[in-house]
Structure 1
Amino acid sequence: MCSTSALPQVSSSASIVRVVLDVPLDRWFDYLNPGLTVREGNRVVVPFAGRQLVGIVMALATETDVPEHKLKAILQVFEDVPFDAATLKLLRFCADYYHYPFGQTVLASLPLRLRQIKPAVTRKMWLYQLTQAVPVDFVGKRQQVLAKVIARLQQGECSEAMLAEISAGWRKAMQLLMDDGFVSRREVIATRPSLPASDQAPTLNDEQAHAVNAVLAERDRFQPWLLFGVTGSGKTEVYIRLLQTVLAEPQAQALIMVPEINLTPQLESRFRSRLSEFPLVSLHSHLSESERLQNWQAAQSGAARIVIGTRLSVFTPMPHLKLMILDEEHDTSYKQQDGMRYHARDVALVRAKQCGIPVVLGSATPSLESWYNAIGDQGQAMAPARKPTYRLLTMKKRAAAQAKLPKIFCIDTTHSPPEAGLTPQLKQAIELRLQRGEQSLLFINRRGYAPVLHCSACQWLADCRRCSAKAVLHLRQRVLRCHHCGDEQPVPVQCPSCGNPDLRPVGQATQRVEETLQHMFPQARVARVDRDTIQAKDALTTLLSAVHAGEIDILIGTQMLAKGHDFANLTLVGVLDTDSALHSPDYRASERLFAQLMQVAGRAGRGDKPGEVLIQTAFPQHALFAALREQNYAAFADELLEERMAMQFPPATHIAVMKAEAADYHLVHAFLSDFSQAARDYVQAHATSLPDLPLIYEPVRPGIAKLNRMERGYVMLQSAHRGALQQFLQVAVTWVRTHPLQAKIRWVIDVDALEY
């Protein structure tokens, strides 16, 4: 069972307070206690380098190694204790494993309101109850609201939401009762009321029932489960059944994680409807800071029984956590790409192990790491033989009896060239769906109008002013926008290089496809779904509701629509452009592309109508498309694992990347060259005494060598053994922090890196 006790109260007589701060120094800082009541875990305000910072008290002591005249006093103490011992243990592990300052790790996991130098104020909710019987003559003949309030209180404790259903004037009546001592109230953290139960629970098929029973049979211990189910196989229903049983235990809590914000509303709505008896909150970046703090405190207090969140929610304190679920566990969005480069899936596994609870990883296209851990020595290339560390649960058929997996076809664009991005076959398939009153989805993972603005006279291409990347044309806004740093510049009226006014967009992106469809099918209702169209808080929910209501005929979308969505009347998926990913230098490119295409293909045919997927490609005979047409992820993954084993890439080995950036690349190169040489010298000197030390590569530049005016480079480290790599990184970090250039550059170690 997870230890969740609050940090212990310590006497205010301790004169030294040891605090961690949000600064890039991996140490605690000692301060004097001027007589305030402080306990471990409190938030405090302290002076630091001429400013005031919020810190977390880690320990109280009576002695310090710092000279007394250098000690400063803490300025303020907040009563709240954000972390329990279990959460701090998890954060300590992450700081050590990802080699990131502990103070920054701790403070970054908090809502913004808890990092500010002021009390964390959030909306509270009161519960009211009768303390004694109300005399009959207390209520006048015309005091109908008062009578109704008393009648409701006689049924038991009431929330503000319950009383508001009686009358908008309930507060005045309640104040009368409280003034005369008939009612008392207690304050609780506000939670949004659940929806009344409406969805009828479907009957589980054999595969779903087996998955539920298997997890519940071992729910009292740590066990990772890989729930490998084809798209539409009913993984969400499995999650719901697990939650119904686990949360039946008093006070039990569950954490459900999703990779992207746009998957949160629909999952939250379904859970609120089916699990209406359990208070539920969500945690993601589309919440206001007030909402985020409120929901975080509801989870921390135990008031929220279900928490649905994106990757940062893995650090949310939950005192009675009994189950963790990661939906779409393969998604790279679970990997943080700035600050501490943690992978929320891996952190979730550590947290589940520390708490002794099961964790379910669900996906139709599991990551190779998870697949490797689930099949053990069953794969053809598992040498030496190894036992699986995850338990594999497979669901091969769609949950709805009438729903079948879609048929997948490739259209050879060398024989059937696209016109304005669409081949004749795809255009004909869309026309057929419009005639039938069915819906279509066109997938292109590029937003904007065109990825390139080109001068045909001198071959000039529009570049970002701050990055070594091309600026994307957004025609409607008349801007060139960098999708890496956000820089915007107006579209030039003539070529900046030669003066030619004939500048042309090259390639397809979502805006251009939308324009094409509106021209080809003027009668169709077309909607575009990308980051540009759903900036408003409820924009995606509104649009998805329109799709479910049959108000949209053709959807154009990026990867935001590739997974998790269930459209019963959508029978056609068209994939416009995938070929660039086939020749990427990234060894993970084929894995990601296969997962992406399998996921988007799974949007078709989820109702009682058959689905069809048309993929436009110049390489229809490519092995990836052959596996995709068979919809056999297992065979594809086993073949990919063989390649990884032969090439000694993850998951066969473990990697870490030393990344550095500065305004001047000479500084980056000098620093990384010194690091690479020092690392190789260390490995050579300890080759006999410390086996399995990592292989050190030469410094190289990433694909985008310059990002937001910062020149970048990296050194890769590779080892067959995670422990040996971690042991070496401890030495490497110590070396880096003493290097004379480390103060002139920004550096970070990316453990288990996904991007270079």
Structure 2
Amino acid sequence: MESLFGDTYEPQDEKSRLYADVILPVPIPKMFTYKIPRSLAEEIGIGYRVMVQFGSKKVLTGIIGKVHQKPPKEYEAKPILDVLDTYAMVNPLQIKFWAWMAEYYCCHIGEAMNAALPSGLKLSSESKIQLNPAYDSETSMYPLDAREEVILQALASQEELTYEDCERLLGVKSIHGIIKSLVIKEAILVFEKVKDKYSPKVETRIRLTQEYAGDKKALEKLFQEIASKPKQEEVLLKYLQEIPVYQKPELNLKGLDKKAFTEAGLSLSSLKTLMKNNVLEEYKLIVSRFEEVTESKDEIVLSEEQTTAINQIKEYFEEKHVALLHGITGSGKTEIYIQLIKEALESGSQVLLLLPEIALTTHLVGRLKKVFGSKMGVYHSKFSDNERVEVWNGVISGKFPLVIGVRSSIFLPFDSLGLVIVDEEHEASFKQYDPAPRFQARDAAIMLAWLHQAKTLLGSATPSFESFYNARTNKYGYVQLDRRYGEAQLPAYHIADILKDKKKNLLKLEMTRLMREKIQEALNNQEQVLIFQNRRGYSPYLVCEDCGVSPECEHCDVTLTYHQFAEELRCHYCGFKEKVPKACHACGSVKLVAVGLGTERIEESLTLLFPEARVARMDLDTTRSKYGYQRLLEEFGAGNIDILVGTQMITKGLDFEKVTVVGILDADRILFFPDFRAGERAFQQITQVAGRAGRREKKGTVIVQTRQPDHHIYEKIVNGNYKKFYIEDMTERQKFYYPPFVKLIKISSRHKDKNLVEKAARYLHNLLNDIQVKKIMLGPEKALIGKIKNQYIFESLVKLDKSGNAQAVFKHDLQLILEEIYANKEFRSVRVVVDVDPY
């Protein structure tokens, strides 16, 4: 059997003691060794989930990483409590991937495992109490109070109680003091009840018994007998209408969902009577949570450019692992993906299509389901735990050889990947910020493909500068599509000067005259409009006109965002909220005004400016529900919405033929953000959202509102001159040492005591400075947002030389330094967060 390190083991004889190195979901940089009980030796292998005790009380789900015969030297190995699987839920390639992720992103393999496994595959452990068998109330030297008596009386009739049961029983909010007292008095025992979270979906189904299913005459006779019992007759007729047993006898095996009878309003007592009389029988069936879809046989017609692009990609794949498909918006990249996926599946390989947003997943799923049917699994965070486990199991069983999903789908148990496609590869949402591992899904997907000896295709209309740099330096293959698919034309850009309109009193509710005219024109032609603003809420903040103070979050260094519909101020970092104040907290003035534009306020403004239009909003607040995205997109696609206002969710992937006008209300907000990528992000977001306009025969219109219409970036965007902008920006990055010319690592120190965390950050920074590699150290400085959730944050930024072994040496020494920091009593409570490739 293979281990994490590629070696094998063979049990020598029945008496030889076996040990397992178990990966546990704890932030400790190693696996833990446990004894394998002889009773479990035949049931255990690499990748099996096991139940183990960690510490004195915790019970955790672990994954077997290695099996061997070496007992640990530092501690007495505890036995594995139980094996949870009959087959491996994780394969050796996944464990290698976790190990790489832990090493590259400076975290622990247990953290990678914790991120990888869906919650439904992790055990839940809850504390319970039971009577101590040795306890005798008459001989006990400890008296009990009234509340303790109630608990013991309840335990006399019930074997066990949860903490919540005890709280309800006594009507108290916290039971811990009472439990502790009973434990001291040796009256009860506390234990952990462990249960597996995942439960399959079970349907109760009804079918004809074999006596009647196989004998038509017996059934005819039965109908004569129940002729005087119309309710029983209705039940039987309903079954036979749905399941024609004599035309298709095989259908009777599966039967009919019991709900069909109740939904039809039929008598349940009559159904029970028919079952009692052995006419119908009830049985349980485990069913999929995903509806079965038959794949379409329609062939996709590729243009000459698309066919050429596919051939070029295949040629590059002969010698390179990665190719970049640089196709302008609307050039037909999806059709290329479909063709390549088809060929990979036909060869017997698995395929992963990675997308940055759930919104994109929703939009593409319907389209791809028609092509690939039930071969395709979908994986994202809006799914329930059980649904995600079902996809996980579907990948293992081969039910889903194709998966379309967001960044977490790189953790699925693929064992024969042939192709990984990363669509919109430039997107910032591929980056995971919290918790660890803080990975970049595009980069991790390339590594995952390499482990499987698979190929990776990166697709984008506006590639990330790193990917384009790798293509220009011949590390990646490069394929370009510079024409839109079919008859669609590129949109016409208009740069609208906000300040100019303001001076002439032409600005209405933050809309320039040009913006209003183009929206009205589209509405008159019964066309649709998309309005982009990268800020949710009614307005970024409230401000007092008298003293200039804005309400701030109690726990973070940020102003609170004003949400008019809910009549509250919210912090988008920690979730703190409060009612809108009637007066200024600082001076008492009632002159509080909303400053800036959020999607909620834009929605209101558009409703006032265009009262005849149907306006809707797509942002995090309106799409929180599981099918929030889907419902909005279906409504928009059906033409029930005229104007859709949205955050960056609407900037990519949406393809609606009636959208002819796209408006960007405040381009400056993106362009002048304090980040070395600000220009790159602005070019990408404006180009991407502009690409939603005019995707069929009619030419689209894009209006970009700005206070600096002469900025050089707008000329590049209007002319679609990505390469010229790239060259200019890369010259600056090389000059000031930014990626892709260096590797960035951000190290954040966090604590509620500002003085302590600043001292710890300086101490840590000095230790990092002593690491003998070529680097530039910046900081430590207070973070851009200096306090989040009552934790003060100080940051150091390391610019590492990319040549040689500088990264490996730095990361190794960094780990030793962190161990030193945590061993220091003064700084032990300071939390240090390492973020590799932070931006």
Shared fold, TM over 0.5: yes
Q: CA deviation at 1:193?
A: 1.3
**Distance (whole Å) between structure 2 residues aligned to residue 10 and residue 192 of structure 1:** 44
Q: 1:140 to 1:213 in 2, by over 3 A?
A: farther
Q: CA deviation at 1:136?
A: 11
**Distance (whole Å) between structure 2 residues aligned to residue 298 and residue 8 of structure 1:** 28
CA contact (8 A) 1:528 1:557 kept: yes
* Residue number in structure 1 paired with 2:29: 26
Q: Is 1:95 matched up with 2:98?
A: no
Q: CA deviation at 1:552?
A: 1.3
* Residue number in structure 2 paired with 1:229: 327
Alignment of 1:458-477 (within 5 A): 458-477=547-566
**Distance (whole Å) between structure 2 residues aligned to residue 646 and residue 502 of structure 1:** 48
TM-score by length of 1: 0.88
Q: Aligned match of 2:818 in 736, 745, 750?
A: 736
* Residue number in structure 1 paired with 2:787: 706
In structure 2, list runs of 5 or more residues that go unmatched: 125-194, 204-209, 221-239, 265-270, 279-283
* Residue number in structure 1 paired with 2:533: 444
* Residue number in structure 2 paired with 1:207: 305
CA contact (8 A) 1:36 1:77 kept: no
Identity between Structure 1 and Structure 2 (%): 32
* Residue number in structure 2 paired with 1:393: 479
Q: Aligned match of 2:91 in 79, 84, 87?
A: 84
Q: CA deviation at 1:163?
A: 14
Q: Aligned match of 2:396 in 272, 289, 300?
A: 300
Q: CA deviation at 1:680?
A: 2.1
Q: Is 1:197 matched up with 2:296?
A: yes
Question: Relative contact order (alpha carbons < 8 A, sep ≥ 6): 1 or 2 greater?
Answer: 1
Task: Summarize deviations over 1:227-284 as a string: whole Å, max 9, x none.
Answer: 111111111111111111211124x3211110011111121111110223x5111111
* Residue number in structure 1 paired with 2:160: none
CA contact (8 A) 1:494 1:502 kept: yes
**Distance (whole Å) between structure 2 residues aligned to residue 392 and residue 492 of structure 1:** 56
Q: Is 1:411 matched up with 2:500?
A: no
* Residue number in structure 1 paired with 2:138: none
Q: Aligned match of 2:336 in 235, 238, 245?
A: 238
CA contact (8 A) 1:125 1:159 kept: no
**Distance (whole Å) between structure 2 residues aligned to residue 433 and residue 137 of structure 1:** 65
Larger radius of gyration: 2
Task: Summarize deviations over 1:427-461 as a string: whole Å, max 9, x none.
Answer: 11111111111111111111111111011111111
Q: CA deviation at 1:471?
A: 0.5
Q: CA deviation at 1:614?
A: 0.7
Q: Structure 2 counterpart of 1:718, which letter?
A: K
* Residue number in structure 1 paired with 2:81: 75
Question: What's the RMSD between the two structures over aligned residues?
Answer: 3.3
Alignment of 1:69-468 (within 5 A): 70-79=76-85, 80-117=87-124, 118-119=195-196, 121-123=198-200, 138-140=215-217, 142=219, 148-149=244-245, 152=248, 192-197=291-296, 200-217=298-315, 223-250=321-348, 252-276=349-373, 279-338=375-434, 339-376=436-473, 388-401=474-487, 403-417=488-502, 418-468=507-557
CA contact (8 A) 1:122 1:294 kept: no
Q: 1:154 to 1:500 in 2, by over 3 A?
A: closer
Task: Summarize deviations over 1:578-607 as a string: whole Å, max 9, x none.
Answer: 213333321111111110000000011112
**Distance (whole Å) between structure 1 residues aligned to residue 500 and residue 794 of structure 2:** 42
Q: 1:5 to 1:33 in 2, by over 3 A?
A: closer
Q: Structure 1 counterpart of 2:456, which letter?
A: V
**Distance (whole Å) between structure 2 residues aligned to residue 14 and residue 412 of structure 1:** 78
Q: The residue matched to 1:711 in structure 2 has which SS?
A: strand
Q: 1:747 to 1:430 in 2, by over 3 A?
A: same
Task: Tell which deviates more after alignment, 724-733 or 321-330.
Answer: 724-733
CA contact (8 A) 2:243 2:255 kept: no
**Distance (whole Å) between structure 2 residues aligned to residue 696 and residue 202 of structure 1:** 53
Q: 1:358 to 1:158 in 2, by over 3 A?
A: farther
* Residue number in structure 1 paired with 2:582: 493
CA contact (8 A) 1:693 1:725 kept: no
**Distance (whole Å) between structure 2 residues aligned to residue 115 and residue 515 of structure 1:** 45
Q: The residue matched to 2:603 in structure 1 has which SS?
A: helix
Q: CA deviation at 1:154?
A: 6.8
Tell me the matched-pair count: 713
Q: 1:320 to 1:493 in 2, by over 3 A?
A: same
Q: Structure 2 counterpart of 1:209, which letter?
A: T
Q: Structure 2 counterpart of 1:668, which letter?
A: V
Q: CA deviation at 1:298?
A: 0.5
CA contact (8 A) 2:551 2:585 kept: no
Q: Structure 1 counterpart of 2:354, which letter?
A: M
Q: CA deviation at 1:96?
A: 0.9
Alignment of 1:539-618 (within 5 A): 539-618=628-707
**Distance (whole Å) between structure 2 residues aligned to residue 664 and residue 518 of structure 1:** 47
**Distance (whole Å) between structure 2 residues aligned to residue 565 and residue 160 of structure 1:** 41
CA contact (8 A) 1:455 1:502 kept: yes
Q: CA deviation at 1:364?
A: 0.5
**Distance (whole Å) between structure 2 residues aligned to residue 220 and residue 106 of structure 1:** 33
CA contact (8 A) 2:539 2:561 kept: yes
Q: 1:147 to 1:703 in 2, by over 3 A?
A: closer
Q: Is 1:625 matched up with 2:717?
A: no
Task: Summarize deviations over 1:194-249 as a string: whole Å, max 9, x none.
Answer: 24528x54421222112222334566776211111111111111111111121112
CA contact (8 A) 1:581 1:589 kept: yes
Q: Is 1:747 matched up with 2:832?
A: yes
* Residue number in structure 1 paired with 2:53: 47
Task: Summarize deviations over 1:274-303 as a string: whole Å, max 9, x none.
Answer: 223x51111110001111111111112221
Q: Structure 2 counterpart of 1:389, which letter?
A: K
Q: The residue matched to 1:704 in structure 2 has which SS?
A: strand
Q: CA deviation at 1:188?
A: 9.2
* Residue number in structure 2 paired with 1:130: none
**Distance (whole Å) between structure 2 residues aligned to residue 478 and residue 674 of structure 1:** 45
Q: 1:611 to 1:52 in 2, by over 3 A?
A: same
Q: CA deviation at 1:615?
A: 0.7
Q: Aligned match of 2:758 in 669, 672, 693?
A: 669
Q: CA deviation at 1:36?
A: 3.4
Q: CA deviation at 1:161?
A: 10
CA contact (8 A) 1:55 1:107 kept: no
Q: The residue matched to 1:39 in structure 2 has which SS?
A: coil
Q: The residue matched to 1:307 in structure 2 has which SS?
A: strand
Task: Tell which deviates more after alignment, 604-613 or 112-121.
Answer: 112-121
**Distance (whole Å) between structure 2 residues aligned to residue 42 and residue 196 of structure 1:** 34
Q: CA deviation at 1:9?
A: 8.8
TM-score by length of 2: 0.79
**Distance (whole Å) between structure 1 residues aligned to residue 541 and residue 303 of structure 2:** 49
Task: Summarize deviations over 1:368-396 as a string: whole Å, max 9, x none.
Answer: 000000111xxxxxxxxxxx111111111
Q: Structure 2 counterpart of 1:707, which letter?
A: I
CA contact (8 A) 2:320 2:477 kept: no
* Residue number in structure 2 paired with 1:385: none
Task: Summarize deviations over 1:153-203 as a string: whole Å, max 9, x none.
Answer: 779x998899999x999xx9xxx9xx9xxxxx99897754124528x5442
CA contact (8 A) 1:693 1:728 kept: no
Q: CA deviation at 1:621?
A: 0.8
Q: 1:730 to 1:564 in 2, by over 3 A?
A: same
**Distance (whole Å) between structure 2 residues aligned to residue 573 and residue 455 of structure 1:** 34
